[in-house]
Amino acid sequence: MERLQRQIRFLLEVDKLKTIFRRNYLTDGSRNENDAEHSWYFAIAALVLCETARRPIDLLHVLRMALIHDLVEIDAGDTFIYDEAAKRDQAEREERAAQRIFGLLPEEQGEELLALWREFEEGRSPEACYARAIDRLSAVIMNHASGGKAWREHGVSRDRILAINQVADKGAPALWEHIQSIIDDAAARGMIDA
C-alpha cells in the first residue's frame, strides 16, 4: 500500500506541470503553451518523426523522456532558452527539483526516472540526441506558426535561434535542415531580425 501511495502522491504532484507556462505560444498565438501541453506535443512529434533519427533508437525510451523531461520545472520554473542570465543556475535548480520530484516515487522507480531525466539533459545517447532534436523542433514550429510572437517579444535574432537549435543536427540532421528553413522563412517574413 505504501508503494501505491507514493506513486499516487507523485501523480498528484506532477499534475502541477499543467500550471507551468512557457514563453512559446500555441500555434494560433492565443496564449502561452503550458509544460504539460509541450510534453504531449513533444511525444507526438517524436512518434511521428522517428524515421528522421540519425541512428537507430528505442522509441519507447524517447517517449518516456518526452513525458518526464520538464517535470523539474514544477520547482525550477521554465527557463527561457534564450535567457543567458537565467540559464546560469538552471542546472543546479533543476537537479534539486529532479531529486525532490522523482524522490516522491518508490526508490527504484524514482532512481530510474532520475537517470532517464539526466540522460536527456546530458544528450549523449542516440535516444537523448533524438529527443533533444524533437524538443528544439517543436519550439521552432510553435514559434513560426504563431508568427514569431515569442521571438519578437524577446528580441531573439536569427543567429541566436540558429545557434540554440543547432543541437538538433546531432540527433536528426533532416530535422536540423528543416529547422534552418523555418528560421530562414521567419527572417524573410519579418518574424525575427535577420
Residue 153 within any structural domain of the chain: yes
- Residue 23, H or E segment: strand 21-25
pLDDT for 94 equals 98
Query: In this structure, what DSSP letter does residue 146 have?
Result: T
Reported confidence tier of residue 193, pLDDT bands at 50, 70, 90:
confident
- Structural domain of residue 168, as residue ranges? 2-188
pLDDT tens digits, residue range 2-41? Answer: 999 999 999 999 999 999 999 999 999 999 999 999 999 9
Q: How far apart are CA 178 and CA 170, in angstroms?
A: 14
pLDDT at 194 > cutoff 80: no
Rounded to an integer, the average pLDDT of 56-72 is 98
Residue 128 within any structural domain of the chain: yes
pTM confidence score: 0.96
Any idea how long the chain is? 194
Quote the number of domains for the chain: 1
Residue 194 within any structural domain of the chain: no
pLDDT tens digits, residue range 150-185? Answer: 999 999 999 999 999 999 999 999 999 999 999 999
- Residue 124, H or E segment: none
Residue 43 within any structural domain of the chain: yes
Give the domain CATH number at 170: 1.10.3210.10
Residue 48 CB burial class (10 angstroms; 0-12, 13-18, ≥19) = exposed
Reported confidence tier of residue 190, pLDDT bands at 50, 70, 90:
very high
Contact of 25 with 146, CB cutoff 8 Å: yes
Residue 193 within any structural domain of the chain: no
Rounded to an integer, the average pLDDT of 69-76 is 98
Residue 138 within any structural domain of the chain: yes
pLDDT tens digits, residue range 112-144? Answer: 999 999 999 999 999 999 999 999 999 999 999
Residue 159 within any structural domain of the chain: yes
